[in-house]
Amino acid sequence: METLINIKQLRAWYTKDKTVLKGLDISLEKNSVIGLIGLNGAGKTTLMNVICGLHEGFDIQSADMNGKKIKFSDDSFRMSRYIVFSEDDSFGYFTFDEYVEYVFSCYDKKTDKALIDDLVEKFGFGEYRSTFIKDLSLGSKRKAYLITGFALRPELLLLDEPVNGLDFTSTEALYKLISEYKQYGTVMFSSHILESVTLTSDKVLVLENGVISKTYSGDEITAETIRASLGNEEEGQNV
Amino acid sequence: MYKLLSRKLLGKNYSSAVKGIIIAAIVGGSLSNVFENKITVAQSVIILTALVSNAIMMWKLLSSSDNAKCLKGLFAMPYDEKKTLWGYAAATGLYTLTMRTSYLIALFIALSKFTAEGAVLFLLSFIYSVFGTLTAFANRAKKPYIGALIAAAGVIMAFILPKGMTAAAVLAAADIAVMVIFNMQKTRAFMVTPGSFQKKSEHHSKPNALLPKYIFRHLLSNKGNLISIVVILFFSCFMSVNFEKMGFKAGCAIGMMIISMNTPLATIVSSNKDLKKKLDTLPNKTKRFFVPYGSVLFGYYIVTYAIFITAFSLATGDLNIKTILAGILFAAESAVIISLLEDKLTITKWNTEADLIRHPRKYILPLIVLTEGLLIFML
């Protein structure tokens, strides 16, 4: 598979004596689904934040996208990716429809009403479209941002713990959308839910001690192998 | 209650409070060296300044959403009604005194002939303002007239009290009276429930109109923001007219500086850490956010300065093209500077929303406006 993004020797820190990512190499293939797992504090969110240009304390040997050098904070790179945060209280005074319209305008894109309506239906979000985002529950807020991300169809869609707060039906819809996203681009998502990774991912990256300690792909992606890699043998327990 | 709140508002071991007083002392000391010719400030100005300024700060603190979250947590635990009531007053009052009033006192000492008598009047007015605002806030929903009566009594006292110790005696009596009324309040009355209202229509706006709409909703969501704008406008007119009457040529510059000092619109990004985070991930943020934001700010300042200049002209009988041009210049500068500050120097390290108001960043714009204003109106 062709490589979309290639990052070499990424180190990230909060303070000089607290390095979270310690020379991490990561390669994301085009049109694929990549699951990112690791115990709490492993650095999953930090990695996402670095890629989004939010985290300032980092250095890197090289980062390229489609073979060209990139800077994470450049607008040209921003145009090709979108992130759904695990917690987000931004733009609370927009309704969902206004928020989508606004985000699309930032990406210089026109909204696809049919696609958005379809996503809204899949997530059972119809009745909340005209509610201010600040007044939505945690789960509904998550749905609003996920719908925006999937409707935008960026080359790289980053989802930080997207399953948290979602109801059963929406979780199933999310798994399906993640799996099908391959036709539009690449999804990288972090999760503590084993099922979310095993059901959707082409590749699973295990983040441990600040580096990608293991990579699984194809038939290797099973609950047993991943659980074993994290030293957690308890059936059904979150990773 | 007091310990928990004071820790949150004033920092661990009162660290934020001490920092606030030190900064105020530095600001006061620096200004004192610059302004050698001290002006005489009227008793009414001292009383009104203490009353209005503290009332705005207190109201903002009491109605802030982070304070609402904090109170929600505190009320989940068992508490003693009276101890909690007075503990709340002590913590919020001390916060206002160290974080806001200390700056005002420093300014008075630096710029005016601030006597011991003036200090006593200021302190008594401050106490009236603290307990009056707390009482008004507790009755904001069911008996709003109580707040109006307290405010009216404060303003009347500022204007009609005779000079000297009689004023101090009346203010002290008023303090006791307002404290007695405050003691009758229920602690739960200070709980804040964030209002929620839905957009009924499904009318779709053009992308360029979305952000101004967002900003106006943000502004209108908190009545305190609107009250604050009106009070600041009134206060700026009052101060500038009084300075002019005292023979100070650039009274208009003082008023314009006050207007530029404090607007809820100036911290729209800083006040929402998630908004800052989201903006930093979105492309075209200058074009899609900060340009429309600057346009809204320009509109806001043009309207505010127009009202101010009209009121100032009516009061002093003086209107010239210089004043109008200065208003347009300051409106444009304010829009550009605030947009740049919110983009490049966003305030992210704050504990309570009220910390945003006392952040040193807020003095950058007033300092520029005051310097230019003095040059324009005095030369």
Q: Do residues A55 and A43 lie in contact, with contact meaning Cβ atoms separated by under 8 Å?
A: no
B203 has a chain A CB within 8 A of its CB: no
Q: B50 pLDDT exceeds 50?
A: yes
Question: What are the boundaries of each domain within chain A?
Answer: 1-80+157-169+181-239, 90-153
The per-residue pLDDT for B33 is 67
Q: Above 90 in pLDDT, residue A157?
A: yes
- Determine whether the interchain pair A90/B284 forms a contact, defined as Cβ–Cβ distance below 8 Å: no
Query: Residue B221: CA atoms inside 13 Å, Cβ hemisphere, count?
Result: 26
Q: How far apart are the first and last CA of chain A?
A: 28
Please name the residue of chain A whose CA is at the shortest distance from the CA of residue B289.
Answer: A106
Substitution target in B219, B278, B288 with the highest count of A β-carbons within 10 Å is B278
Q: Is pLDDT of B356 > 50?
A: yes
For residue B250, the SS3 value is coil
Q: Which of the residue ranges A42-46, B194-198, B237-241 would you say has the lowest mean pLDDT?
A: B194-198
Q: Output phi, psi for B194, to 5 deg.
A: -60, 125
Task: Say what the pLDDT of residue A231 is.
Answer: 67
| Whole-number pLDDT of residue B359 | 84
Q: Which CATH code is given to the segment(s) A1-80+157-169+181-239?
A: 3.40.50.300
The token duo for B65 is 């959403």
Q: Is the pLDDT of residue B68 over 60?
A: yes
Determine the distance in angstroms separating the CA of A236 from the nearest CA of chain B, rounded to an integer: 33
Q: Are strands A68-69 and A62-65 parallel, antiparallel or unpaired?
A: antiparallel
Nearest chain B Cα distance for residue A43, angstroms = 18
The yes-or-no verdict on residue B105 having pLDDT over 70 is yes
Q: Please indicate whether, in this complex, the C-beta atoms of B281 and A53 are within 8 angstroms of each other.
A: yes
Three-class SS state of B110: helix
**Lowest-pLDDT range of A110-114, A133-137, B119-123:** B119-123
Residue B277: predicted pLDDT: 93
What are the chain A neighbours of B286 within 8 Å (beta carbons)? none
Q: Once rounded to an integer, what is the mean pLDDT over residues B27-44?
A: 70
Q: Which of B281, B284, B290, B291 to mutate to test the interface with A (most CBs of A within 10 A)?
A: B281
Contacts of A198 (CB under 8 A, 6+ apart): A221, A222, A223, A226
CB contact under 8 A, B197 and A132: yes
Confidence (pTM): 0.69
Predicted local confidence at residue B186, as pLDDT = 83
Give the Cβ contact number of residue B271 at 10 Å: 20
- Phi and psi at residue B240, in whole multiples of 5°? -65, -40
Q: Point out the least confidently predicted range of A99-103, B3-7, B144-148.
A: B3-7
* C-alpha–C-alpha distance, residues A200 and B291, integer Å: 41
Look at phi and psi of residue A165 and say left if phi exceeds 0, alpha if psi is from -120 to 50, else beta. Answer: left
> What CA–CA distance (Å, rounded) separates A201 from A218?
8
Q: What is the pLDDT of residues B118-159, one digit of tens each?
A: 888 888 998 999 999 999 988 887 888 888 898 888 888 888
Whether residues A88 and B274 touch (CB distance < 8 A) is answered with: yes
What pLDDT was estimated at residue B200? 41
- Does position B318 have pLDDT exceeding 80, yes or no? no
The CA distance from B253 to B378, in Å, is: 9
**Chain A residues bordering chain B (beta-carbon distance below 8 Å):** 52-54, 73, 75, 78-79, 82-83, 85, 87-95, 97-98, 101-108, 129-132, 134-135
> Per-residue confidence at B95, pLDDT binned at 50, 70, 90?
confident
Question: Number of CB pairs < 8 Å for A and B?
Answer: 91
Contacts of A109 in chain B (CB under 8 A): none
Contact call for B281 and A130, based on CB within 8 A: no
Q: Average model confidence (pLDDT) for chain B?
A: 82
- Cβ burial, residue A218 (10 Å; 0-12/13-18/19+): exposed
